[in-house]
Amino acid sequence: MSLDPTLLTTPLLALHEELGAKIVPFAGYAMPVQYPMGVLAEHNHTRTQAGLFDVSHMGQVVIRGKDRAAALESLVPGDIQALAEGRIRYTMFTNDRGGILDDLMVTNAGDHLFLVVNAACKEQDIAHLTAGLAGKAEVAELTGRALLALQGPKAAEVFARLAPASQGMGFMSWKVIDVAGISCFVSRSGYTGEDGFEISVPNDRAEDLARKLLAEPEVAAIGLGARDSLRLEAGLCLYGADLDVTTTPVEANLNWTMSKRRRAEGGFPGAAVVQAHLADGPARLRVGIKPVDKAPARAHTQITDVDGNVIGEVTSGGFGPTVNGPLAMGYVSSAFAKDGTEVRLVVRGTPRPAHVTAMPFAPHRYFKN
């Protein structure tokens, strides 16, 4: 199948093709969904060794200005002013109804804020930032940088060989580090539930760095297919599936992203709606769901109570290789959100037994110092 020539590409496309990747359209980019190893083996390799992901389609943005942290707080419910230098915070852009426009990572990089936003929302996010921060801070997209993610229990050991200064970095910390002689922005973070790093590297050095990492015996190239099953097992949200403009942070069970000060003060779009949800509880909540049998429930599968009354919908679902069974997350009426609650998943017209369960499905293994 020939790809649409209008698709954007990352600096690593030629390398993906050389490695035998299956390339598919994703968020307007030509991206590797899997390699010859296959999604299942790629997933298991990341859980046991180290996987290298090309996430260069994500948006990288810099915000400068004296009051940049306070300015950004006018668009997000996260506590940016309390963010220490070299630390990262997960937050989201909200609309005037408290709905989520996108989720993102914000780093205090010293004299500026460094943001990573989702590929599918990149253009609208940058426009939203530029308009919302006009007169308060300067916004610039970093278009000349690729982004790699090295994830898995062997990631730190491997990375230390190329970047000795990475040793001892804690989860959600950030540094400018020499990696194999290349100056990179490095964060100890990821989207798999495993320990690992995300590495922002100049475009013209991206392939060189990727090849050096792949030359290490523990490292294999991993595609978007395994990235999705890994993040689902970790209970992590995918924007456009588990989060969208109709979902508030409270409904999404992301209360932990908002500090006491931000909850009380508000000052972000939709704050009144979010504060009401915090005070009174929302009508629905994002939960983990474990099917009893082996039939996976995909996105948009109807969730009912044991009597057949519709109580919600699956937003992400599939097979979890690490847990050796199907799993899902979705939204249910709050009365049914308690762990252990019996529900039914309507798979191909048949109600199948399942129960609400705590997430993550596979334990997080982040490095905290």
Residue whose C-alpha is closest to residue 221's, from 233, 205, 207, 204: 207
- In the chain, domain spans: 13-55+144-233, 60-141, 255-357
* Architecture field, domain 60-141: 2-Layer Sandwich (3.30)
pTM of the model: 0.97
pLDDT of amino acid 5 = 86
1: pLDDT strictly greater than 70 = no
Query: Residues 87-140: pLDDT tens digits?
Result: 999 999 999 999 999 999 999 999 999 999 999 999 999 999 999 999 999 999
Question: What class does CATH assign to 255-357?
Answer: mainly beta
pLDDT of amino acid 369 = 81
220: pLDDT strictly greater than 70 = yes
Q: How many CB atoms are located within 10 Å of the residue 40 CB?
A: 14
Query: Residues 264-294: pLDDT tens digits?
Result: 999 999 999 999 999 999 999 999 999 999 9
For domain 13-55+144-233, give its CATH number from 1.10.10.10, 3.40.50.720, 3.40.1350.10, 3.30.1360.120: 3.30.1360.120
Query: Residues 63-95: pLDDT tens digits?
Result: 999 999 999 999 999 999 999 999 999 999 999
Q: How many CB atoms are located within 10 Å of the residue 358 CB?
A: 11
Query: Residues 304-333: pLDDT tens digits?
Result: 999 999 999 999 999 999 999 999 999 999
